[in-house]
Amino acid sequence: MGLIERIAVIGAGTMGNGIALRFAKAGLHVCLRDVKQEFLDRARQAQENTLKAMAPGGAIAEPEVGAILGRIRPTTDMAEAVRDAGFVLEAVPEELELKRKIFAEIEAAAPAGIPLASNTSGISISRIAEGVKDPGRVVGMHWWNPPHVVRVIEIIRGNKTAEATFQATRDLVLRIGKKPVICQKDVPGFLGNRILYALLREAMYCYEEGIGTAEDIDTMVREAFALKLAFMGPMALLDLAGLDIYHNVAQYLNGNLCNGREVSPTVVEMVRNGKLGLKTGQGFFDYSKVNITDLMKQRGQQMVGLLKLMGP
């Protein structure tokens, strides 16, 4: 496969618009497609806000803003989005049948042989690929939110992903300045979400059992071990602590950890009552008097600052 210069991103939501922005920042031309113009207009506004927020901290030079946005072309036409693409990335909602439908549309209009990637956070790549004629072109390319900040991208092979597709995806990840993490098996949740959801499940268990409040759970994670985990992963942390210590503690602790297979009843109830977090102004915390835009801007700037401390 030749050098990829044009990218099609299908889906202009939170992830899609951020992914398109990162590709454009790396100098690639992007066609961003969604089903309604209003979704594309909302995406452009979000991209402008992101770039303006990044400029004061030095993450991007002010004169670059216009050039980056100029490399992103919005459209509601699928054929227009993919016809000149060298790589297509799907970022639509997490519904298997919807993704299969989208991939079939992409395959019918995109150049033959180019990689077709999915940003799914956990649906089997092999199952998504069942909807196309050439499953060797399909690969998982899972970005993390916010995609313009988080440096890691998971790459997942389906059971029929071609080696050329995998290598082209890995090369693209490196080219845009991200770090590829290879998920060696096409399992639900891949690598990152399996680890993350184990943490979230135990946090919910501690909350429901009255072991800690939402505030104390967050404080413990943020101020204690998250500080270390920003500079070393869990495997290196085990080495630091000593595997003998882990062995001894795990013997009495592992059997007491949550092993529930169902969604937390607290979460089920909150969803039923429309308490969805930031998007509704109420979750475990009350956001009704919080400026969400300012909050997200602040968090983004904090992450950028942390990345600088972490180094290249």
Average pLDDT, whole number, for the chain?
A: 93
CATH number at 6-183: 3.40.50.720
Checking if the pLDDT of 1 tops 70, the result is no
Is the entire prediction scored with pTM above 0.95?
no
User: Could you give the C-alpha distances from 187 to 124, 162, 178, in angstroms and in order?
Assistant: 7, 18, 23
Checking if the pLDDT of 205 tops 70, the result is yes
In this prediction, residue 201 has a pLDDT band, given cuts at 50, 70 and 90, of: very high
The 10s digit of each residue's pLDDT in 222-231 is: 999 888 888 8
The H or E element spanning position 201 is: helix 192-208
Checking if the pLDDT of 62 tops 80, the result is no
Q: Which residues of 71-84 are buried (b: 16+ CB within 10 A; e: fewer)?
A: bbbbbeebeebbee
Within the chain, all domains assigned CATH 1.10.1040.10 are found at: 201-310
Residue 230's pLDDT is 86
In terms of Cβ atoms closer than 10 Å to its own Cβ (0-12, 13-18, 19+), residue 40 is buried
**What is the C-alpha to C-alpha distance for residues 206 and 104, in angstroms, rounded to an integer?**
44
The 10s digit of each residue's pLDDT in 78-125 is: 999 999 999 999 999 999 999 999 999 999 999 999 999 999 999 999
Contact 142, 154 (CB under 8 A): yes
Q: What are phi and psi of 182, to 5 degrees?
A: -95, 120
- In the three-class reduction of DSSP (H, G, I as helix; E, B as strand; rest coil), residue 89 is classed as strand
Sequence-distant (6+) residues with CB within 8 A of 16 are 9, 10, 32, 34, 43, 91, 92, 119
Checking if the pLDDT of 170 tops 90, the result is yes
Contact 150, 144 (CB under 8 A): yes
Q: What value does the mean pLDDT take over residues 141-167?
A: 95
CATH number at 201-310: 1.10.1040.10
